[in-house]
Amino acid sequence: MVKRDVTVTEVALRDGSHAIGHSYTIDQVQKVAKALDEANVPYIEVSHGDGLGGSSLQYGRSKTNEMELISAAVSVCKQARVGVLLLPGIGTVEELKEAENLGARLARIATHVTEADVSKQHIQLAKELGMETVGFLMMAHMVPTEKLVEQAKLMECYGADTVYIVDSAGALLPHEVKERVKALKNQLKVNIGFHAHNNLSLAMANTLVAIEEGATWVDGSVRCLGAGAGNTQTEVLVSVLDRMNRSTGIDLYKMMDLAEEIVAPILEKPQEITKGSLILGYAGVYSSFLLHAERAAHKFNVDSRDILVELGKRRVVGGQEDMIVDVASELAKKSI
Ligand SMILES: CC[C@H](O)CC(=O)C(=O)O
Ligand SMILES: [Mn+2]
């Protein structure tokens, strides 16, 4: 049995889907999942970027059906467990059952940070199906800590094994992560998890703060292949935790090799903090909105930063992607 002080979930095959326009192929997923499995990564998330059922005009169509991608990942994993993300209202119970039937063993049920109550049915179903279950509270920067605790308690009482604080916009500052994790740790009995985005270059620092405060589940994306500026870079996280004598059970060299040889060629260009991703963190906007905003900026001939800042002011949340085009068109009209 491998000793793990910190349990890492690799999200490049789900969160990274936003960064490449949901274009994963079976071959890519198989190669990445096999290498992650050989590197001893315990959990690998595979789904459309917006979770099961996300393939649509609104969120972007998947090049390959996600159920085929899930099967492909399951078929090459010997020790790793394949997980799926599900946002109630986008994914359905039928899709969760199908994914479980194909071999998915981890269900991560995600809601906006004020809407944990909509996760009850899905968390309970995942538990009935015998899946390990995570409650995933997105856009955690948008509410004060007391509200986050209240919502996390709901997920705990529905049966989640772990509750995640999700910094979807990469907007949280280290002291805000500290306060949130500490409060959850004090008031919940279940495991606490943390999911970061690197838009303000704080993903690693915030993840370490979360771990110091007692989070035992954290997410990473190899080569930073996630939405916006990506997530905490998994191979870097593994090496930092190793230096801190916190075991992840993951083979560092294998992780580095797969980042370089298998994942880097999937990226059109290396992940970096661009003006677009920086603005996501600065304005507090969903990381998955980046490519949509850049496309709208191009179409309406406006600056994508103006679109994102306006979306931040309007406190737009996941599922309101249609607002991106509305805002772009309003800005274009104003500039005439
Ligand atoms: C739209 C779902 C989203 O990408 C989930 C996630 O990873 C996050 O909120 O950061
Ligand atoms: Mn994310």
**49-65 pLDDT tens trace:** 999 999 999 999 999 99
pLDDT reported for residue 66: 98
**Residue 135 bridge partners (DSSP):** 109, 163
At residue 319, the pLDDT reads: 87
Residue ranges matching CATH 3.20.20.70 in the chain: 7-263
For CATH 1.10.8.60, list the domain ranges present in the chain.
288-335
The CATH number, out of the four listed (3.40.50.10490, 3.40.50.2000, 3.20.20.70, 3.30.230.10), of the domain defined by the range 7-263:
3.20.20.70
Dump the DSSP string for 63-112. Answer: SS-HHHHHHHHHHH-SSPEEEEEE-BTTB-HHHHHHHHHTT--EEEEEEE
Residue 227 CA, closest ligand 1 atom number: 4
Protein residue whose Cα sits closest to atom 9 of ligand 1? 168
CB 54 within 8 Å of CB 90 = yes
Low-confidence residues in the chain, pLDDT < 50: none
Q: State how beta strands 106-112 and 217-220 pair.
A: unpaired
Closest ligand 1 atom to Cα of 18:
4
83-96 pLDDT tens trace: 999 999 999 999 99
Q: Which of 113, 166, 231 to mutate to test ligand 1, by most ligand atoms within 8 A of the CB atom? A: 166
Query: What's the topology of domain 288-335?
Result: Helicase, Ruva Protein; domain 3 (1.10.8)
197 is in an annotated binding site: yes
Which are the catalytic amino acids?
18
N residues, the chain: 336
Cβ atoms of residues 220 and 234 within 8 Å? yes
| Per-residue pLDDT at 336 | 81
How many Å apart are CA 167 and CA 294, to the nearest integer? 21
**CA 258 centroid distance within chain:** 20
The residue contributing the CA closest to ligand 1 atom 3 is 50
112 annotated as a binding-site residue: no
Of residues 149, 137, 28, 133, the one with CA closest to residue 81: 133
